Every structure is written in structure tokens, then in C-alpha cells.
């Protein structure tokens, strides 16, 4: 069984070790930022910003800039554009996100086309869009560490007004929280976090880790700190299992070809969501529950 799970050479492989380290780091940042993203109902923006960041990354690679600059810069510009179009009302937010996302994908189409004209290497589109944690250059590790620390520190600094404005904007406004400012700071943090994870693990996994583990955690957590810790733990577990499975799949398939990491990580995230939902359902069965329409979101008690 152990042999089956950990195929020979797993832990002595440098690529795997970098993947495990970076994957864990990105899962933690995504987990923390993701809890607030889910609470605020900004999953669409969180996903759209990965695509916007990807467009930035493609543009940077075309202009021979560092991809990290492109990913983060693209994401931050996109977040600013969404805020400028208007994200105050929920339905406007939807359109603002959509318009920015549409324009950014258009630019991606252009950049990726120009890249294929410039180079003869194939696979660039797929590696930019789908990413792979196995292809991260070890030299980017220090930059990723610093940026992760900046995002985590930023969210920690604004956590009180952020939580309050996420759960009850009216209450927050009454207490003197400047909603627009907090919202914009959060969008920039979100852009940095997803830019970071998009470059390390690709845009699919960026969204998966941003939304999946936090959504699971919020189903069962009874306080903010629990939700944060659980989201990070579920994210790290999904990433590590995914990396191990992807490494092993080279042996399982026996054709010298494995399945992508993103496939396994997403499968783990989905499995976690199902298990946590079952736990939440069992719990609700035991307490006499009010109809869902009558209950106040549990999180109101967190403020």
C-alpha cells in the first residue's frame, strides 16, 4: 500500500519537493484570501482575475519582462478596472467583472497568437492556461515567498473592517468603515493572491484552491479563525495529495505519460467538498432546523 501510494523516488525528486513547498504556500494564501472571497460573494471576480493575470503574464512574456511582474501587474490593473466600472451593487459587479474578463481574454488571444508567431516551441498556450506546479523555476521561490507574506500581512491588517463589511455592509458603514476603500484594498490583495497562484499552479488550480477549500470550511466552521485554519489545511491536503497522485500516475498508466496535477488536485478539492457537506448535513439533521429561508447566515455572529 505504501509502495503503491509513494512510488520510488518521490521524495528525493527536487521538482517534487519544490512543488510540494510552493503548492503548500499558495494553498495557504488562497485559503486565507478565499474565505473572504466566498463570504463577500466575489468568486466570479476571484476567478476572472486569474484569467486577467494570465493575460498579463502572456503580455510580459511577449515584452520579455519577468512573468511575475506580468501576472501581478495584470491582476492589479484588472482589479482597478473592475472597481472603476463599479462593483458596489451585486448585479453591476457581475457586469463589471464580465466586461473586464472579456477584454482580458481578447488580449490573451492576441498575445498568445503573437507568442506562437515568435517562437517555435509548442505547448506555450497550454502551459500558460493550465499551468503545472512541476514546471516552476526554483529561482522564483524567493519572490513567491515575499509576495505571499505581503498578501497575508495585508489581509491580517484589514481583517476586522473586511470581515464586517463582508458580512453586513450596513453595520460596517454605520460603524464608520469606508466600504469602498476596504473593497478596493481587498480586490488588490485578491489580484495579487490569484496572480501568484496562477503563475505557480496555473489558472484552473488557482480558482479551485481559492474557492473550493474555503467554501468547504465555511460550511462547518463556527468562527472566523476556524474557517481560516480549516481552509488552509484542506487546501494544503488537496495540493499535496494531488502532487503525489500526479507523480504516481506516471507509473499507474505505464505509458510514460501521467495525468496533470490540476486534475488530481481538483478531484481532491471536490471530494473534500462532498465529505464536508455530508458532515454539515448530518449536523443539521441532529438539530431541529428552521427552514433555510428563515435562518440568518451563521457568520453574522462572527463580527
Provide the minimum distance between the beta carbon of 92 and other proteins in the complex, in angstroms, as a whole number. Answer: 9
Task: Note whether 247 and 265 are within 8 A (CB).
Answer: no
**CA quadruple 252, 236, 209, 229: dihedral positive or negative?**
positive
Write out the residues near other proteins by the rule CB under 8 A.
38, 41-44, 46-48, 51, 85, 90-91, 94-95, 97-110, 112-113, 116, 122-123, 125-126, 129-130, 204-205, 207-208, 210-212, 215, 219, 257-260, 262-263, 265-267, 269-270, 273, 277
Residue 18: CB atoms within 10 Å: 18
Provide the minimum distance between the beta carbon of 202 and other proteins in the complex, in angstroms, as a whole number. Answer: 8
Distance CA 141, CA 18 (A): 8
Nearer to other proteins, 153 or 231 (CB): 231
Nearer to other proteins, 28 or 47 (CB): 47
Provide the minimum distance between the beta carbon of 143 and other proteins in the complex, in angstroms, as a whole number. Answer: 26
Provide the minimum distance between the beta carbon of 128 and other proteins in the complex, in angstroms, as a whole number. Answer: 11
Distance CA 175, CA 23 (A): 38
- The 8-class DSSP code of residue 222 comes to S
Nearer to other proteins, 89 or 178 (CB): 89
What cell does 9 get? 523516488
Nearer to other proteins, 60 or 265 (CB): 265
Nearer to other proteins, 121 or 287 (CB): 121
Provide the minimum distance between the beta carbon of 277 and other proteins in the complex, in angstroms, as a whole number. Answer: 6
Provide the minimum distance between the beta carbon of 161 and other proteins in the complex, in angstroms, as a whole number. Answer: 22
Mapped onto helix, strand or coil, the DSSP state of residue 101 is helix
Task: Note whether 200 and 136 are within 8 A (CB).
Answer: yes
Nearer to other proteins, 66 or 244 (CB): 244
Which residues make Cβ contacts (< 8 Å) with residue 67, sequence separation at least 6?
57, 60, 61, 199
Amino acid at each position: 500500500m505504501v509502495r503503491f501510494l509513494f512510488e520510488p523516488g518521490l521524495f528525493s525528486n527536487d521538482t517534487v519537493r519544490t512543488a510540494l513547498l510552493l503548492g503548500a504556500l499558495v494553498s495557504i494564501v488562497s485559503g486565507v484570501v478565499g474565505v473572504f472571497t466566498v463570504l463577500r460573494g466575489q468568486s466570479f471576480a476571484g476567478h476572472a482575475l486569474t484569467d486577467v493575470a494570465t493575460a498579463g503574464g502572456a503580455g510580459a512574456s511577449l515584452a520579455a519582462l519577468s512573468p511575475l511582474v506580468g501576472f501581478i501587474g495584470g491582476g492589479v490593473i484588472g482589479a482597478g478596472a473592475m472597481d472603476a466600472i463599479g462593483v458596489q451593487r451585486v448585479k453591476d459587479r457581475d457586469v463589471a467583472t464580465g466586461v473586464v474578463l472579456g477584454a482580458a481574454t481578447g488580449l490573451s488571444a492576441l498575445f498568445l497568437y503573437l507568442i506562437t508567431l515568435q517562437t517555435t516551441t509548442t505547448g506555450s498556450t497550454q502551459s500558460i492556461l493550465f499551468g503545472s506546479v512541476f514546471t516552476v523555476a526554483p529561482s522564483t521561490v524567493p519572490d513567491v515567498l515575499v509576495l505571499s507574506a505581503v498578501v497575508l500581512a495585508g489581509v491580517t491588517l484589514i481583517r476586522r473592517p473586511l470581515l464586517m463589511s463582508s458580512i453586513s455592509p450596513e453595520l460596517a458603514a454605520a460603524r464608520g468603515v469606508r466600504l469602498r476603500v476596504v473593497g478596493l484594498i481587498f480586490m488588490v490583495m485578491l489580484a495579487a493572491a490569484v496572480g501568484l497562484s496562477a503563475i505557480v499552479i496555473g489558472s484552473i488550480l488557482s480558482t479551485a484552491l481559492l474557492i473550493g477549500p474555503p467554501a468547504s470550511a465555511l460550511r462547518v466552521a463556527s468562527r472566523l479563525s476556524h474557517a481560516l485554519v480549516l481552509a488552509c489545511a484542506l487546501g494544503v491536503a488537496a495540493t499535496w495529495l494531488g502532487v503525489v497522485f500526479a507523480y504516481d500516475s506516471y507509473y499507474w498508466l505505464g505509458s510514460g505519460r501521467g495525468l496533470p496535477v490540476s486534475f488530481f488536485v481538483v478531484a481532491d478539492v471536490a471530494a473534500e467538498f462532498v465529505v464536508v457537506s455530508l458532515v454539515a448535513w448530518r449536523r443539521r439533521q441532529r438539530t431541529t432546523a428552521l427552514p433555510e429561508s428563515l435562518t440568518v447566515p451563521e457568520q453574522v455572529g462572527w463580527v
